[in-house]
Amino acid sequence: MEKIWTDRYTISSYEVDIKARVYLPVLCSYLQESAWHHAHNLKLGYDHLLQKNKIWVLSRLCIEVRSYPRWREKITVRTWPKGLNRLFALRDFEILDAEEHVLGVATTSWLIIDVKSRRPQKPDPFFKDMPLSPDHHALRDDFEKIPQVSGDAARLPISVRYSDLDLYSHVNNTKYIEWIMDSFGAVRYREQMVSSLKIQYLSESFWGDTISLLIGQEAEPKGTFLFNAVKTADSSEIFRATVRWGDE
């Protein structure tokens, strides 16, 4: 069992934005893919859990990007399980260029969910022999609760489509990040870059749901925006997020 897992990716033409930089949701998809690969290697992957009627669900993500890789560049993703925090399993990531300079870092927390009850399960029994790295931090974050959008907020209506769904038949976590990224105008993308994103997933959404994406006004520190996604039918929260823009 590998304590630290390594995957290599090449940035494709269909994965970049108007400046030929990898699109942030694609970068987050790489992280998720490497997490799946490592979990499978540790015999705690999708197939292993499903045999016990359990699944992994990403609960929280914090990513900081120092420099975005571009079309045709090769990158390396390193990932490792960091430890447990109550019901959460913690996993960190490093994103490296071909010379092994750090392009970005991320930390995540995951839940093991029972397929039928949809309730979180205690992770301890699954981690008895897991090689953990509790002192190896790519990024430190206590995942404090993100505040709700308050005051005057823009409201963007979104209807969940078939292409938004994943193999669990709910909206894939990277799709929510796409919704956030699509809420900004082209001018900002031409002049700046997203330097960090933090998102906390609160409940599931499904094909046919109508979602209101609430967008808070720019806040301190400068370039920071808050987001809430709320299901129109019952006002239940889907996620909260914060995005910070910075200069390239």
Q: Print pLDDT tens along the chain (248 aa).
A: 899 999 999 999 999 999 999 999 999 999 999 999 999 999 999 999 999 999 999 999 999 999 999 999 999 999 999 999 999 999 999 999 999 999 999 999 999 999 999 999 999 999 988 999 999 999 999 899 999 998 778 999 999 999 999 999 999 999 999 999 999 998 899 999 999 999 999 999 999 999 999 999 777 788 999 999 999 999 999 999 999 999 87
DSSP per residue, 81-134: EEEEETTEEEEEEEEE-TT--EEEEEEEEEEEEETTT--EE-SGGGGTT----T
Tally the domains of the chain.
2
Query: 117, 143, 169: which is the final residue of a domain?
Result: 143
Residue positions counted in the chain: 248
Tell me if the pTM is above 0.85. yes
Torsion of CA 15, 89, 230, 159, to 10 degrees: 40
Phi, psi of 126 (to 5 degrees): -80, -15
Q: How far apart are CA 244 and CA 196, in angstroms?
A: 5
Q: How far apart are CA 192 and CA 126, in angstroms?
A: 43
Tell me, yes or no, whether 135 and 20 share the same domain.
yes
Tell me, yes or no, whether 115 and 210 share the same domain.
no
Q: 232 is in which domain, residue-wise?
A: 145-248
Tell me, yes or no, whether 8 and 129 share the same domain.
yes
Tell me, yes or no, whether 233 and 167 share the same domain.
yes
Query: 100, 117, 143: which is the final residue of a domain?
Result: 143
- Give the CATH number of the domain where residue 243 resides: 3.10.129.10
Tell me, yes or no, whether 189 and 138 share the same domain.
no
Tell me, yes or no, whether 109 and 22 share the same domain.
yes
Query: 108, 143, 178: which is the final residue of a domain?
Result: 143
Tell me, yes or no, whether 177 and 149 share the same domain.
yes
Tell me, yes or no, whether 37 and 101 share the same domain.
yes
Pairing of strands 54-65, 102-114: antiparallel
